[in-house]
Amino acid sequence: MSEIDPRALFNLSYGVYIVSSVCEGRYNGQIANSAMQVSADPATIAVSIHRDNLTGEYIEKSGVFSLSVLDKSVPMIFIGPFGFKCGRAVDKFCNCNYEVGPTGAPMVLDYAVAAMDAKVSSVTNVHTHRIFVGELVSAKVVGDGLPLTYAEYHSVKKGKSPANAPTHAFNQVSK
């Protein structure tokens, strides 16, 4: 019997983000719940991406990524393509407003409270995921709403975690 009660992990604070990148002129992005600031000088952030996801492949090849912090008002229909569709088959950017950052990575502006653009400074492999650490090239406030937390995504929006999310195994666990 496991000594890990998954409900304990529900108490970690997560946000809901779109992490995007560019490779050979193509854009891809995905929903992520694991992002954080790791340094102030230089301003540095980190994101955790499943090793099988196209976004991670783009970040690995291009050395750049963007992070859009989603607003509480974001509808599930907007989250859907970024969270549950593969960029190999779908253009996730055809129905949203975005701005290409200084690195060339697209920063999603729709339903975002902030957007950031980073150059990868290190990569760490951790089991199923890669943690990309990136030094910020630009960061701006996009909207004046409040960031959507992962807890609200589940409890208010009734969202689920896609198969490659770090928290996918806990979809069936009730709080």
Mean of the pLDDT values across residues 13-24?
A: 96
Kindly tell me the burial class for residue 15, based on how many C-beta atoms sit within 10 Å of its own C-beta (0-12, 13-18, 19 or more).
buried
CATH architecture for segment(s) 12-162 = Roll (2.30)
Q: What is the pLDDT of residue 4?
A: 84
Structure tokens at 39: 């340094």
Per-residue confidence at 159, pLDDT binned at 50, 70, 90?
A: low
Kindly report, residue by residue over 101-122, the tens digit of the pLDDT.
Answer: 999 999 999 999 999 999 999 9
pLDDT band of 51, cuts 50, 70, 90: very high
For residue 9, what pLDDT band results from cuts at 50, 70 and 90?
confident
DSSP 8-state secondary structure symbol assigned to residue 168: G
Answer yes or no: are the C-beta atoms of 31 and 14 closer than 8 Å. no
Higher pLDDT, 166 or 7: 7
With 0-12 / 13-18 / 19 or more C-beta atoms within 10 angstroms meaning exposed / middle / buried, residue 133 is middle
Peptide bond into 162 cis (omega under 30): no
* 115-139 mean pLDDT: 98
